[in-house]
Structure 1
Amino acid sequence: MSDDALPEADAEPGLPHPRHVHTLFGHADAEEAAASAIRSGRMHHAWMITGPKGVGKATLAWRMARRLLGVKPEPSAPLAHQAGDPVNQRIEALSHPDLLLVRRPYDEQRKRLKGEITIEEARRIPAFFSRRAAEGGWRVAIIDSADEMNRNAANGLLKSLEEPPERGILILVVTSPGRLPTTVRSRCRRLHLRAEPQLACANWLETTHSVPAEEATLLADLAKGAPGRALAFHTSGLAGMQRDLAAAITPSGRIDQNAAERLISKATGTDSHQARAVLFDMMAGESARRARQAAGSGQAVPAGQWADTSRRITSLAREAETLYLDPRQSLLAAFSLLEDAARQPAG
């Protein structure tokens, strides 16, 4: 498989990689904060961009990188750029000498992406910053997603954080900051991105991507207003999975095995990695929804049970990815967790 054909760990299947995205939906305050720091010339050496999956973290990181590396600005937004600028074209081709992208590597032996960012990948960062800037300006390293680093990789990052390189900027894209050591988090300036209101997200899907209104509303709800996540659900044709999941859980709390098998088949077939990730997300999300519903009704015990189920399904999904567990057995285990929580007495 050629390098051009390899899957990219930091891109949603069916969507362009964030380095090819030229608009940012929302986050005007965060963008202005980054732009102001760049204009001042006194940039903090490490930035952590946090927020839910699909909210625009990587898109903002690449906008920062373009401005730092000299892509010509465009006046529509603080970090807007001219897509046709030759510098931008080199950035998109990952051929700019003062740019480094660190992400989960491809496992040639297993023919799939590795489940975590390894120490070997992290070691590329101090090596990159040890060299002089080829074009005399800033050097920029992006880690996406930094919370996918294993413990050794995160510890290996500390040298670059503790000894800031001259005119070197490290940008960490992070979905789950708690997975990173405190020593890493404390050395970064944080920009936290929040999802726009779901109505705004639905309107964006309709007007920008011609998604029918009813589906746009459902997608925005599933993605909790995160535009990239909602668009990924749309392009992957996975919007109906939520309805199928709801139908798989009977009023008595039992799992409809036929409905569950249909969902599992969809999530374990050829090229089904995203469907599997979405199904795990939806099961964890359904558990969290039921936890909130129970808490709102004053049912503390069921609320705690459902909240614990949500956490356990999230952990199971992560282990299935990083430890290469059997996808079918992992999903069956998640359905068992749902059934156990649904059948627990309220007292």
Structure 2
Amino acid sequence: MNARLFSRISIGEKILIGLSVVYIIIMLFTLNLGRNSNLVVRSFKQIEEEERYLFILEEIYNENLFTLRHFNDYIHTRSRDSFVQYEQHRRIVDVQLTALQGISSVYTFNTSYESLLLLDSLDELREFEDFLLDNVSNGRFGMNIVLYDSQYVSLVDDVDRILIRLLEQRRSLLQTLKQTNSEHVQYFQGSRIGILLATPIFTIIVLLFISNTVSTPIKKLEQTAAEFAKGNFSKRVDIETGDEIGKLAKVFNDMAKNLQTRTKELEQSKKDLEQEVRKRTRELNKQVDELERITNIMVDRELKMVQLKKELSNIKSKK
């Protein structure tokens, strides 16, 4: 049905449809290329954010080590310098934690269970540190040493384990993202090359199809015209399209039909004329024969008259 409808449209419309198909193909390839480009850009952005997340996490780990070391010195020696260093590193850790929470709130792939567990453990550790600092302010030094050795060290170990585990997870995730990004880049490059190759190929195919729909009927018209030139008016153009060539083929067929009819009429007229000529010839031959017969009779009579005259003349001369 679609082929029949396509055959009924004009050549100009066929060319317009072909160009539209080529344009749609190019647009689809372009959209696919744009989608792949977005994947690559998004992948690079994820890698960038994950690297930032990992960097902050490593900073938290390192700064937390300094914080714990200076806090340990302060609890055991109550050195003012240790307390100042402890507060500085603790503020740095708090700033980094705030930045880490900001990343986690924006990028959902960063909100893992380990991340949340780290935040809770650090909050618990800071609360316990504040409790120990309050004991120092109240002069309960002995209790602090006992609590530090029995509970604080355990909390520190938990935080260290969570940080190390989280760092390993994030490094593994970053490696996976880089590998995925590499695949996206390769796919993007392959798609770009594919588009560069496929676009002209599809264009050529569409143009060849349109050219074939135009050139094939023209060749049929040419072959039929050659048969007409040989006098074979029984040949017909087998083109059933609704375009200009189809209309021209119909004119060709009508012309051939008319010529064939006229030729048959001329041949019949020729036969009739030949029959009439033969009839007239026979009649003329009969008339000629009759004239010859009459002429012979008259000649015989004349000869006889001459003979009689001679005889009469001889008779008269004898007398």
Which interval holds the TM-score relative to the shorter structure?
Answer: under 0.3
Q: Give the structure with the larger strand fraction.
A: 1
> Highest relative contact order (Cα 8 Å, sep 6+), 1 or 2?
2
* Rg (Cα) greater in structure: 2
Q: Give the structure with the larger helix fraction.
A: 2
TM-score using structure 1 length: 0.16
